[in-house]
A = this chain, B = another copy of it.
Amino acid sequence: MDKQALFLKFIDFVTAVHQTTHAFTKGAKLEDVTPVQYKMLEYVAVSQPVTLSSVADCTHMSLPNTSRELKKLIQKGLCEKVADADDRRRQLIRLSDKGQQLMNGIFGHMLSQLEGRIGTLSGEKLKEIEQALDLLHDRVFRT
């Protein structure tokens, strides 16, 4: 197999990943949260506590816009802000209890979707999947 063919397979794969994640998050209720705000919540959920700057970097947003959207998330009661004791310019951001519950629900929904796809597989197959995830993460999708 040449590089060209592998590239096509790569494109196809990436498209499928995007489709799948879209399908997974679809249906999870997101009352009042815009797409950009959801991206922020997801990042905070996985990496909390985080600074505003790191949210901006990781979501590829400008600092002013990140600040604006965070304010909305705080108004909705989904995030909390605490001044960093070591550097009082910095804000440490984390999910509030309500935000944590929201994200737990969404991750739970995604988990059940994933279960639906791999729930019936043997331990053997699951091991293969795990290894494939590791391999591609290392070789192709490392960040």
Write the residues of chain A forming the contact surface with B, with a CB cutoff of 8 angstroms.
1, 3-4, 6-7, 9-23, 46, 60, 107, 110-111, 114-115, 117-118, 121, 125-137, 139-143
Contacts and interface: CB of A to CB of B under 8 A. Distances in A.
A112 to B, nearest CB: 10
Number of this chain's copies in the complex:
2
A43 to B, nearest CB: 9
B126 A13 contact: no
Contacts of A129: 6, 135-136, 139-140
Most buried by B among A13, A60, A135, A141: A141
**Among all A-B residue pairs, the 10 with the closest Cβ atoms:** A132-B132, A16-B141, A20-B141, A19-B143, A132-B135, A13-B133, A17-B17, A7-B111, A132-B136, A17-B141
A134 to B, nearest CB: 8
